[in-house]
Amino acid sequence: MKRIIHAAFVILAMACAGPALAHPHVFVVVTSEVIFDAQGRVTGVSQSWIFDEMYSAFVTTGASEEGKPVSAEQLQPLAEQNVSDLAEYGYFTIVKVPGQKIEFAKPQAIVMREDDKKLVTLTFILPLKQPVKADKAFTLQVYDPTYFVSFDFAKNGVTMKGAPSGCSVSVTQPAPLGESEANRLNEAFFSGLSPGADFGIKLASRATVACP
């Protein structure tokens, strides 16, 4: 199990390590839930990441007896290690409110499961250190700056929990890449080099929560 934990984190950590393999190398479908308290303040974001078939097979190999499904209990050490180590990179989760600095507290409710399609899902809650009002635009993005990992919101993949009446959420898709940027991405894919430390944001969707 220790070998699996270490190797699995290498896949995610390499996203932040400069030149790496072809980009993107890991694909993740994201569902995010913005959590409100009774005072109408945002207190955190619940994340659910569904990994692609290749990554899912990689992290579950050797985790259970051959032919048997991998349990959440068997994957728990891996889940906790990965989330802990990704703290250095902000969990690839960026939230912003005009005029305020937003920081996360220690993640909660960390779970990793394998579904009947053999896909692995990592779920965790990112509490905010200080609750914030969403009467100004509260924005959420999930991306890897180097685009080693491709994060995409699922359809209707950003929701709210406990939001006051009148709050809304919308998702804006990124603008298409220009010719030069598309060429950079193609060159990165074939050369194995990173397209740039700020490339991921160019392909990241943006969710905006607004409350009256």
Question: Please, what's the b/e burial string for 162-195 (b: 16 or more CB within 10 A of its CB; e: otherwise)?
Answer: ebeeebebeeeeeeeeeeeeeebbeebeeeebbb
Quick one: which of 123, 179, 174, 117 has its CA closest to 150?
174
Contact by Cβ (8 Å): 195, 184: yes
Higher local confidence (pLDDT), 29 or 174:
29
Across all residues in the chain, what is the average pLDDT? Answer: 82
Residue 201 vs residue 190, higher pLDDT? 201
Answer with the residue of higher pLDDT: 92 or 175. 92
Chain segment 139-156, per-residue pLDDT in tens: 999 998 888 888 999 999
Mean predicted confidence (pLDDT) in 162-170: 96
Q: What does the pLDDT read at residue 209?
A: 96
- CATH 1.10.3470 corresponds to the domain 2-8+24-210: no
Identify the band that residue 10 occupies on the pLDDT scale cut at 50, 70 and 90: very low
**pTM listed for this prediction:** 0.83
Please check the confidence at residue 79 and state whether its pLDDT lies above 80. Answer: yes
Instruction: Give the pLDDT of residue 127.
Output: 98
